[in-house]
Structure 1
């Protein structure tokens, strides 16, 4: 369905990213007192690059031109912070950073769901004939 030119797919990927980020933040907060636990994060550059590659179409006119698509998974990329220690027990969770990330992720999620709701309202308006 080419009604919105991959907008729904992009919004779905944004919600997937927000969901993965929420899970990682929750795990970090839950393990803030666990000895030797290393905080995790979602690599947004890889997630953004995967989204960009999935939404761009390119045509090569010469085999020497670069391709936009790469081989690999479009899943969220979760990475652990290494060689970082905030507590004496080897834990690397900074609770203040996690709470800041939690608030930022909530704002991001609300913006994406608001945009998705607007797309569905536009679609309803088209179906009703603009009434």
Structure 2
């Protein structure tokens, strides 16, 4: 009998990747909080999760047989966030406090997904060993 990782791991295998991508986006916002003209971005978690679960991917075209074939899984698109504060005159829409709060919330949810995955692997390991 074969093990289906999709069934065994459930949605948590996808949430980890989406949360990691969102962490990159939020970290970029925090790093550019003082960059004139920078627009805050975010990821629509539900849309990105649906894209990750569907396994949608894009392949790069090869113009020479010597090129290495490559593809990447789609994780949803980054969108610009609607500003929550008035324009300060430099065109930057990053609210540093909001970004830090969202980053911390995302980090906690990322860790929860890792914990769930860890328990799933632990249970599968027990099942393979015959329990202890």
TM-score, length-scaled by structure 1: 0.73
Deviates more, 1:90-99 or 1:2-11: 2-11
Unaligned runs of 5+ in 1: 55-72
Unaligned runs of 5+ in 2: 56-72
Q: 2:15 matched to 1:25? A: no
Asked whether the equivalents of residues 10 and 51 of structure 1 are also in contact (C-alpha less than 8 Å), the reply is no
Q: How many residues align?
A: 113
The 1-side partners of 2:6 and 2:75 are apart by 21
CA change 1:82–1:102 in 2 (3 A) is closer
CA deviations on 1:33-81 (whole Å, 9 max, x unpaired) are 0001000100123123335656xxxxxxxxxxxxxxxxxx742321123
Aligned-residue RMSD, C-alpha: 2.4
CA deviations on 1:60-116 (whole Å, 9 max, x unpaired) are xxxxxxxxxxxxx74232112367754221100000110110110111011100000
Match of 1:106 in 2: 107
The 2-side partners of 1:116 and 1:13 are apart by 10
Asked whether the equivalents of residues 33 and 91 of structure 1 are also in contact (C-alpha less than 8 Å), the reply is yes
The 2-side partners of 1:50 and 1:2 are apart by 24
Q: 2:82 matched to 1:79? A: no
TM-score, length-scaled by structure 2: 0.72
CA change 1:37–1:16 in 2 (3 A) is same
- 1:13 positional shift: 1.3
Q: What does 1:33-44 correspond to in 2, within 5 Å? A: 33-44=34-45
Structure ranking higher in strand proportion:
2
Asked whether the equivalents of residues 18 and 52 of structure 2 are also in contact (C-alpha less than 8 Å), the reply is no
Match of 1:127 in 2: 128
- Indicate the SS of the match to 2:11: helix
- Indicate the SS of the match to 1:45: helix
Match of 2:48 in 1: 47
